[in-house]
Amino acid sequence: MIKKTIILSIIIFSCFAFKSVTPSYQIALLKYNGGGDWYANLETSLPNLIEFCNTNLKTNINPEQAVVEVGSADIFNYPFVHITGHGNIVFNVQETENLRNYLIGGGFLHISDNYGIDKFIRPQMKKVFPELDFVELPFAHPIYHQKYDFPNGLPKIHEHDGKAPQGFGLIYQGRLVCFYDYECDLGDGWESFEVHKDSPETHQKALKMGANMIQYVLMGGENVVKK
């Protein structure tokens, strides 16, 4: 566990400490069991976010997303993992333990509600952190105020049930280890125009909020950078 924590720390530090031609690190889409469509936004979502971050945040992320299974030891190679879908999700005992160790060891999980994930993901994350509940983050939270300023919290990307978007978090020993965008659908908003035909303004809002998450994770959640 200590070794894996050190590996994650080195990966996160290297993202900003070194500027090289070789990508500093990679971010990953989380593959899960249970029948849900973990691959819902596979083609363009994370790749578009990565390109946006590399251009606008000057990060050095591998342009190719990784795909990693919940129970795989490879998850410790990625400081940021993303999960989405519409249907059922099931974490077995080994997967639950692996994801918990990853998150308390320095990793970060972003959950994007692609409409319908809520009733499935909440009980699974409760298995990962039985001692924690999702809490709604205040609009003053630093994740909304990195490179881009979102004074009213999450932007509304896609309509689901006509509700306002909400950003929930799991906070372990003072650190945000998981961010959950609900009634927002950031992952869909990152996709290319031909997928959902979102307006350029909506697409940019989604990418900017995604970039805030990436910057928040890489900089340890302490610094607020506005430009």
Give the domain CATH number at 155. Answer: 3.40.50.12140
The structural domain count of the chain equals 1
How many Cα atoms are found within 13 Å in the side-chain-facing hemisphere of 199?
A: 6
Distant-in-sequence, close-in-space partners of 64: CB < 8 Å, separation ≥ 6 = 26, 47
What is the span of the domain harbouring residue 189? 2-218
| DSSP E strands, 76-227 | 80-83, 108-112, 135-136, 166-172, 175-182
Q: What integer best gives the mean pLDDT of the chain?
A: 86
In this structure, is residue 106 part of a structural domain? yes
In this structure, is residue 48 part of a structural domain? yes
Quick one: tokens of 140?
A: 């003053």
Give this prediction's pTM.
Answer: 0.88
pLDDT at 116: 82
In this structure, is residue 223 part of a structural domain? no
pLDDT in tens, 40-75: 876 799 999 999 999 999 999 999 999 999 999 999
In this structure, is residue 224 part of a structural domain? no
In this structure, is residue 101 part of a structural domain? yes
